[in-house]
């Protein structure tokens, strides 16, 4: 009998879930909106309904499910089963795991959503075959996960991997964590957009192609349009991308200097720029990294699983 696992990815706007087979393939997936006003009880009830619908659609029985895994946008305390804090959900100290166990009556594990995505990429994506991997996700903020000697590293309080919150610019822009000059403030999609909007309002920027691409509506400026304008030779966008890549390279270099993983995987929305992001980033890191003259260097790659990484990684959690 084929054994399956269930992976659930709790996000700020949607709950995604999938049934994953032994070869890390998603057999069926689906999503529902994230509704937080009913607390943990409501969230877990929605997860149960979503998973039940996937099982019904595939004809897979609950007896064929070995375990359930969950990725959450916050600190997942594995000792207590409590999601201690999820700022994007405005939730604190929610007993998700006890409730999930009550609903599913199966072994249930959880971790931070960036850790789940990193674990998924390590098992079935760009980290497959390596002993060590670091993943950095470039989205609204910057998150990440670390696999060292084949094991997910989560820290003594399950909060490791907050790469967005080390400082790369002393006394720089204020970060939502309360510090100034955090990596996230400059190298996230939010940081990229902030730099572009500032440049667009300067004298040369008022003629930028970006205004046309966003329909003269600055609310529609995003990373995809910024990289597109740069690709088409827009000087304002080129300058913004060049500056953004420098900030990104500083943070990536620091991470490599600390961990020296075999591979560093870049995911998140900004990673959709692919080679336009990757190739100049690799050149900049090569110039700065401490091991620039080493015979063995960290390979920098783009994540390969997209939104599936979090589901696969959550499904395959083993504790």
Digit-coded pLDDT (tens) for 129-160: 999 999 999 988 898 999 999 999 999 998 89
- At how many degrees (to 10) do helices 189-200 and 235-259 cross? 150
Q: Looking at the predicted structure, is the pLDDT value of residue 168 above 70?
A: yes
What's the predicted TM-score (pTM) here?
0.91
Q: Of the candidates 247, 238, 119, 150, which has an alpha carbon nearest to the alpha carbon of residue 189? A: 247
Q: Quick one: pLDDT band at residue 125, thresholds 50, 70, 90?
A: very high
DSSP 192-243: HHHHHHHHHTSTGGGG-HHHHHTTT-GGG--HHHHHHHHHTT-HHHHHHHHH
Q: Quick one: pLDDT band at residue 86, thresholds 50, 70, 90?
A: confident
**What's the pLDDT at 85?**
81
Rounded to an integer, the average pLDDT of 251-271 is 96
Residues 76, 317, 21, 306, CA torsion sign: positive
Mean pLDDT of the chain: 94
Q: Which residues pair with 60 in a beta bridge?
A: none
C-alpha to C-alpha distance for 81 and 79, rounded to whole angstroms: 6
**What's the pLDDT at 89?**
83
**What's the pLDDT at 90?**
81
Q: Quick one: pLDDT band at residue 97, thresholds 50, 70, 90?
A: very high
C-alpha to C-alpha distance for 28 and 17, rounded to whole angstroms: 8
**What's the pLDDT at 140?**
86
C-alpha to C-alpha distance for 160 and 81, rounded to whole angstroms: 17
* Count of helix runs (H) and strand runs (E) in the chain: 10, 13
Rounded to an integer, the average pLDDT of 212-238 is 96
Q: Quick one: pLDDT band at residue 319, thresholds 50, 70, 90?
A: low
Percent of the chain having pLDDT more than 70? 99
For residue range 18-48, what is the model confidence (pLDDT) as tens digits?
A: 999 999 999 999 999 999 888 889 999 999 9
C-alpha to C-alpha distance for 46 and 32, rounded to whole angstroms: 8
**Count of other CB atoms within 10 angstroms of residue 306:** 13
Residues 307, 117, 266, 157, CA torsion sign: positive
Which pair of tokens denotes residue 28? Answer: 């069926």
| CATH H superfamily, domain 133-302 | ATPase, nucleotide binding domain (3.30.420.40)
**Count of other CB atoms within 10 angstroms of residue 203:** 6
Domain with CATH 3.30.420.40 in the chain: 4-125+308-315, 133-302
Q: Of the candidates 61, 58, 65, which has an alpha carbon nearest to the alpha carbon of residue 6? A: 65
CATH class of the structural domain 4-125+308-315? alpha beta
Give the contacts of 266 (CB within 8 A, at least 6 positions apart): 135, 136, 137, 138, 252, 277, 278, 281, 300, 301, 302, 303
Q: Looking at the predicted structure, is the pLDDT value of residue 120 above 70?
A: yes
C-alpha to C-alpha distance for 80 and 64, rounded to whole angstroms: 27
Give the distance from CA 109 to its chain's centroid: 19
């Amino acid at each position: 009998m084929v054994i399956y696992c269930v992976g659930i990815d709790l996000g700020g706007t949607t709950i995604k879930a999938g049934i994953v087979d032994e070869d890390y393939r998603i057999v069926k997936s689906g999503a529902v909106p994230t509704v937080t006003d009913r607390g943990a009880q409501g969230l877990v009830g929605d997860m149960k309904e979503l998973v039940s619908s996937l099982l019904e659609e595939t004809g897979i029985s609950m007896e064929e499910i070995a375990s359930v895994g969950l990725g959450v946008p916050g600190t997942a305390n594995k000792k207590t089963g409590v999601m201690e804090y999820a700022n994007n959900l405005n939730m604190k100290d929610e007993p998700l795991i006890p409730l999930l166990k009550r609903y599913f009556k199966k072994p249930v594990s959880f971790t931070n959503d960036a850790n789940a995505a990193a674990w998924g990429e390590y098992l079935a994506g760009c980290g497959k075959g390596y002993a060590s991997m670091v993943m950095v996700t470039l989205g609204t903020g910057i998150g990440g996960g670390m696999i060292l000697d084949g094991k997910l590293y989560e820290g003594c309080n399950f909060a490791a991997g907050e790469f967005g919150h080390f400082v790369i610019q002393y006394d720089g822009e204020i970060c939502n964590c309360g510090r100034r000059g955090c990596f996230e403030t400059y190298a996230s999609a939010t940081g990229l957009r902030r730099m572009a909007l500032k440049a667009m309002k300067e004298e040369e920027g008022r003629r930028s192609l970006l205004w046309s691409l966003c329909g003269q509506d600055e609310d529609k400026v995003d990373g995809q349009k910024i990289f597109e304008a740069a690709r088409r030779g827009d000087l304002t966008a080129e300058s913004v991308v060049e500056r953004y890549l420098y900030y990104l390279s500083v943070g990536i270099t620091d991470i490599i200097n600390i961990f020296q993983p075999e591979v560093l995987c870049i995911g998140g929305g900004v990673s959709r720029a692919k080679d336009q992001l990757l190739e100049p980033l690799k050149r900049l890191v090569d110039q700065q990294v401490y091991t620039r003259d080493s015979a063995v260097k960290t390979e920098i790659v783009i994540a390969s699983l997209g939104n599936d990484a979090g589901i696969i990684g959550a499904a395959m959690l083993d504790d």
